[in-house]
Amino acid sequence: MAECGGFDISVVLLLFDIRRFNPNPVPCSGRPTMGIVEKIQEIEREIARTQKNKATEYHLGLLKAKLAKYRTQLLEPTSKGGGKGEGFDVMKSGDARVAMVGFPSVGKSTLLSTMTHTHSEAASYEFTTLTCIPGVIEHQGANIQLLDLPGIIEGAAQGKGRGRQVIAVAKTADLILMMLDAVKGEVQKGLLEQELESVGIRLNKKPPNIYFKQKKVGGVKFTHTVPVRNVNEKMIMTVLHEYKIFNADVVFREDCTIDDFIDVIMGNRQYLKCLYVYNKIDQISLEEVDRLAHLPHSIVISCEMKLNMDYFVEKVWEYLSLIRIYTKKPGNAPDLGPEDGIILRGASTVEHACHALHRTLASQFRYAIVWGTSTKFSPQRVGISHKLDHEDVVQVVKK
């Protein structure tokens, strides 16, 4: 076999032959084009270095639309095909689900062991918890499922660590508990909010009051029922065209930003309540404890010293907006025991109570008699759409 300078000449000819039939070979990296993560990073850098003024608002709107689209593409394959984007296999149970998210070693496992009968391994080193550990908080007759999730690291939204599984479970929760180290909580809070924001989780926000409907013909019609300062028709058209939408009705019922409009177009955003829990307050000054305690949606605790734990449970109950109602049979006194009653979501009606009691009760409903703060006088005869308050007593009369 012919050799040339220590190389087999037949191998050289074979490589030349392959290149002749493939004029655009894949580079050694195996990625001939820029990946989605790189595109996201490039757009983020472009947004950061672009000055925000009237002249650049259309350019920024377009960049934000592209960024939202790429972030969705980054998560879509994992959510459809399984793999590393799936959440941990934890069955939803109880009356509500609360997910703890936070960086490693902020006290999530200690809090779970303190507040529930579940033991979660706690240690002073990072990544002690490697999977999702559920526990149950029992409060006012309700069973609240508390999930101890592995610590999030920076870049979790791109799949670093076990970030995608943590975020997938967080999206199924009724309340997010953001566990923060009181010493470095402000930095951690900003990074965690950024990670959750990038995957479509909106904390302590209401969905934008924007009507959006795609059509087959008719072009784009943009109207607003209130004065809008942050958007105009040209900006709306620019963003819609980026998503290949050329026929739609858009009505702004409040003064929203272009980011809010992009969220409405995407249609997959989760709007969740969040309670910021500053742990390890025994390691900071009283002045700093007082400052953190007065921040919006915040609570200060110490898991090690069991400080402020009762108030913590009360705040969780408040943020979950749960109510407990009691039932009464005709001629009998209501059952007001600690194990009696039905747990419902806030803003629940008599109809919700009927469904919770029995699946056929709503169809047989005639009227209800209610005692409690939801009525103008007690007892009061009400209809099926009457809104109930915490600790109301309800007697249902069937047809």
- Residue 28 pLDDT > 60: no
Give me the helix-helix angle, 163-170 and 185-198, nearest 10°: 80
Neighbours of 206 (CB within 10 A): 8
pLDDT digits (tens, 9 = 90+) for 73-109: 766 644 444 444 444 556 677 889 998 888 888 888 8
What pTM was estimated for this model as a whole? 0.75
Kindly tell me if the per-residue pLDDT of 206 is higher than 50: yes
Alpha helices in 123-182 (DSSP H): 163-170
Mean pLDDT of 342-362: 88
- How many percent of the chain have pLDDT more than 70? 79
pLDDT at position 260: 93
Q: List the chain domain ranges.
A: 96-121+129-205+270-319, 210-264, 322-398
Which whole-number Å values give the CA distances from 270 to 152, 198, 204, 266, 364, in the listed order?
19, 12, 10, 11, 36
Per-residue pLDDT, averaged over 260-266, amounts to: 92
37, 122, 148 from 157: Cα distances, Å = 10, 25, 19
Q: What would the mean pLDDT of 330-342 be, rounded to a whole number? A: 79
Q: Which of 389, 363, 365, 362 is nearest to 375 (CA)?
A: 389
- Report which of residues 85 and 252 the model is more confident about: 252
pLDDT greater than 70 at residue 153: no
The percent of residues above 90 in pLDDT, for the chain, comes to: 35
What pLDDT digit, counting tens, does each position of 276-309 carry? 999 999 999 999 999 999 999 999 999 888 899 9
What number of residues does the chain have? 399
Averaged pLDDT score across all residues of the chain: 80
- CATH architecture classification, 96-121+129-205+270-319: 3-Layer(aba) Sandwich (3.40)
Q: Which of the following CATH numbers is that of domain 322-398: 3.90.1150.10, 3.10.20.30, 3.90.76.10, 3.40.50.720?
A: 3.10.20.30
Contacts of 48 (CB under 8 A, 6+ apart): none
pLDDT for position 119: 59
Give the pLDDT mean for 198-213: 91
How confident is the model over 5-26, as pLDDT tens digits? 454 544 444 444 444 444 444 4
Q: What is the pLDDT of residue 19?
A: 43
